[in-house]
Every structure is written in structure tokens, then in C-alpha cells.
Amino acid sequence: MSRFRVVTALISLIFTLSGCSLLHRDKEPPSYLTHTVQCPGESLSIISLWYTGDISRWPELLAHNPHIDLKRMRLGTKVQIPMEIVQQYKPPTKLDVARMQPKKRYAKLMGKPESPRAQMQPYQYPVSKLKLCDGFEDTPEGLDRCAEKLARQVEDRP
């Protein structure tokens, strides 16, 4: 009978401990894509648009990254993006970030291009090379006298 008690105790112990050994392994920890802020002007909305294709998912990113200060996204800040919403894996370039900015911000980030007129040099044509002004000097005064002579000829034309 003592053997019966031992077997019963073992069976009871097995059933009791079997409930303790079950862990909730059905829920895996979420996996993330980690983005490091590398360009000035990056924001959670831009990061959301780039990686998920939807700019309105930035609050979801903020929920996964409570350490982020929305007003100060510093270079080097790590942003974790849940893998289940990632559609783009390659990080954006400076040009990509600038293109996603509002127009004023884009111009500031990329640098405003100099106008072609500012790059052009005025052409210096010597007055003495003009047929009608061959006796005048290549000076501002000579140019004025040549201009007056040309104006008179234009007025005298029928």
C-alpha cells in the first residue's frame, strides 16, 4: 500500500507541477527595425512616411519610442519601427528627407540655388568696334556720345 501512496503522490505532483511549467510563449516580443536619425529635418512623420508609406502612423511610432522628444529630433536618435508595419528597409538619404519637407524647409536644407543672372558676367563690347562710333574712346563718356549719335540716327529715319 505504501507503493500505492508513492505512485498517487507522484501523479498528483506531476499534475500540480505541470500547470506551473507552462509559460505563455505564444506571444513573441515584437521585432523592430531601428532607424538612426542622420539628416537635419527628420521627424517622426517623415520617418513614418518613408518606412511605412503612411505619414499618419507617426503616433504609432511615438508609442513604441516614448523616449523621443518630438520638438528635438537630434542626429543620432534611435527610432524603433515595428517590423509588421515596415514597407521600406533602406534608410532615406538627405535628398529624400529634403523632398519630404515643406517647400520652405526644402529650400533651406538643400541651399537656395543662385539665379543664372547672378552668375552671368556682362559682355564688354568696345565702343570703338562699332562702325558708327569708330572715332569714340572705349570709356563711359565715349559710350554716352555713341549712344547719342545712334539715337539721333534712329530719330532721323523715315
Q: Measured on CA atoms in the order 123, 128, 133, 139, is the torsion positive or negative?
A: positive
Range of 136's domain? 127-153
* 116, three cell numbers: 543664372
pLDDT at site 79: 94
Same domain for 43 and 92: yes
Question: Which three-class secondary structure state does DSSP give residue 36?
Answer: strand
pLDDT at site 109: 55
Same domain for 132 and 95: no
Q: How many domains would you assign to the chain? A: 2
H helices, E strands: number in the chain:
7, 2
Residue 62, in any domain of the structure: yes
Dist. CA 100–CA 88, nearest whole Å = 15
Q: What is the mean pLDDT of each run of 10 residues along the chain (158 residues)?
A: 72 68 60 91 89 91 90 89 91 84 60 60 68 78 83 79
pLDDT at site 121: 64
Residue 96, in any domain of the structure: yes
pLDDT at site 39: 86
* pTM of the complete model: 0.49
